[in-house]
Amino acid sequence: MMPTQDLAGSKIWQRRSGRESLFHWILWLLGIAIFAYCWQQISAATTWFFVWDAPRIADDIWTRATPPKWEYITQLGKPIWDTFNIATLGTIFALILAVPVAFLAARNTTPSRLFIRPVALLIIVSTRSINSLIWALLLIAIIGPGVFSGVVAIAIRSIGFCAKLLYEAIEEIDATQVEAISATGASRWQVMAYGIVPQVLPAFAGIAVFRWDINIRESTVLGLVGAGGIGLQLSSSLNVLAWPQVSLILLVILVAVVISEWVSAKVRGAII
């Protein structure tokens, strides 16, 4: 049944036909029933004593954590610098690897849609689907704890992200500019350098700073599993319940993230 009905000569228009709106109501009913059931299950599995107790504990930790232990800052310079380096080097390595993958994955530049494109897409999906913390755990087992494991973990995790955004940018380029360069008798690589690269360069720069900004945040926690950076300090402070140190570390991370966001916003603003 169509939304527009002919009733006694006058055309009646409704958003949905009768059957569609009935179906709609059933869907809503089903959704609410599922929500209620889940609520009940979660409620049964919760130890409510701990929840009621939570505000008191939080208040307790807050009083222990303030004021932050300011003199501890002298020991945080090196770790935050490591964190920054992990993010930056990881992003650079990721971009170097992501560019060829993106060109192999984009429909309009891949040498073979049937064989090579699926491989490139597999690389993108598999590197993207595993969190950098898990990559770090694996890599610490393989190459040992330290900053280098962190760099590699960040790099691997970022390949898929960068390659995916970049290949989407490549697929959206203006084809007639590429056509015009091909029509001059340019070779395949020249078409790439003159027809495609100038068109995706702004997208590339935007992706690079965006990912770098994300990586600063991701690399702050890598230390929790032993892959270097400020997370290492955070984890050891948490282990000895040194709350004033923890609060200072959180403040330092906050400042680092704000700075990276500011830089990436500035750079992206300058490009676009």
Partner 1 sequence: MLRLEKLAKTYKTGDQALQAVDIEIPESQVLALIGPSGAGKSTLIRCINRLVEPTSGKVYLGDTELTRLSSGGLRRERRRMGMIFQEYALVERLTVMENVLSGRLGYVGFWRSFMRKFPQSDVDEAFRLLDRVDLAHMADKRADELSGGQRQRIGICRALIQNPALLLVDEPTASLDPKTSRQIMRLICELCRERRLAAIINIHDVALAQMFVQRVIGLRLGSVEFDGPPSGLTPEVLTSIYGEEDWEATIETVDDDDVATQ
Residues 21, 3: Cα–Cα separation, whole Å: 11
Q: CB-wise, 131 or 176, nearer to partner 1?
A: 176
Stretch (H or E) spanning 123: helix 116-129
Q: CB-wise, 61 or 193, nearer to partner 1?
A: 193
Residues 22, 17: Cα–Cα separation, whole Å: 9
How many CB atoms within 10 Å of residue 125? 11
Burial class (CB in 10 A: 0-12, 13-18, 19+), 271: middle
Q: What is the largest CA-CA distance in the chain?
A: 85
- Residue for token pair 């949905």: 16
- Residue 201 is a binding residue for partner 1 (CB under 8 A): yes
Q: CB-wise, 67 or 185, nearer to partner 1?
A: 185
- Residue for token pair 């940018």: 169
Q: How far is the CB of 192 from partner 1 (least distance, A)?
A: 9
Count of residues that bind partner 1 according to CB under 8 A: 21
Contact residue for partner 1 among 18, 77, 144, 202 (CB under 8 A): 202
- Residue 112 is a binding residue for partner 1 (CB under 8 A): no
Q: How far is the CB of 187 from partner 1 (least distance, A)?
A: 6
Amino acid at 72: Y
Q: Which residues pair with 6 in a beta bridge?
A: 11
Angle at alpha carbon of residue 105, lines to 100 and 110, rounded to 5°: 85
- Residue 66 is a binding residue for partner 1 (CB under 8 A): no
- Residue 238 is a binding residue for partner 1 (CB under 8 A): no
**Which two structure tokens, joined as six digits, stand for 260?**
């990276």
Asked whether the beta carbons of 228 and 150 are under 8 A apart, the reply is yes
Residues 44, 234: Cα–Cα separation, whole Å: 34
Distance from the Cα of residue 5 to its chain's centroid: 48
- Residue 187 is a binding residue for partner 1 (CB under 8 A): yes
Q: CB-wise, 17 or 182, nearer to partner 1?
A: 182
Question: What is the x/- site pattern for partner 1, positions 7-36, by CB under 8 A?
Answer: ------------------------------
- Residue 193 is a binding residue for partner 1 (CB under 8 A): yes
Q: CB-wise, 25 or 189, nearer to partner 1?
A: 189
- Residue 184 is a binding residue for partner 1 (CB under 8 A): yes
Q: How far is the CB of 184 from partner 1 (least distance, A)?
A: 5
Contact residue for partner 1 among 17, 88, 199, 235 (CB under 8 A): 199
Q: CB-wise, 24 or 188, nearer to partner 1?
A: 188
Which residues of the shown chain bind partner 1 in the complex (CB under 8 A)? 174, 176-177, 179-187, 189-190, 193-195, 198-199, 201-202
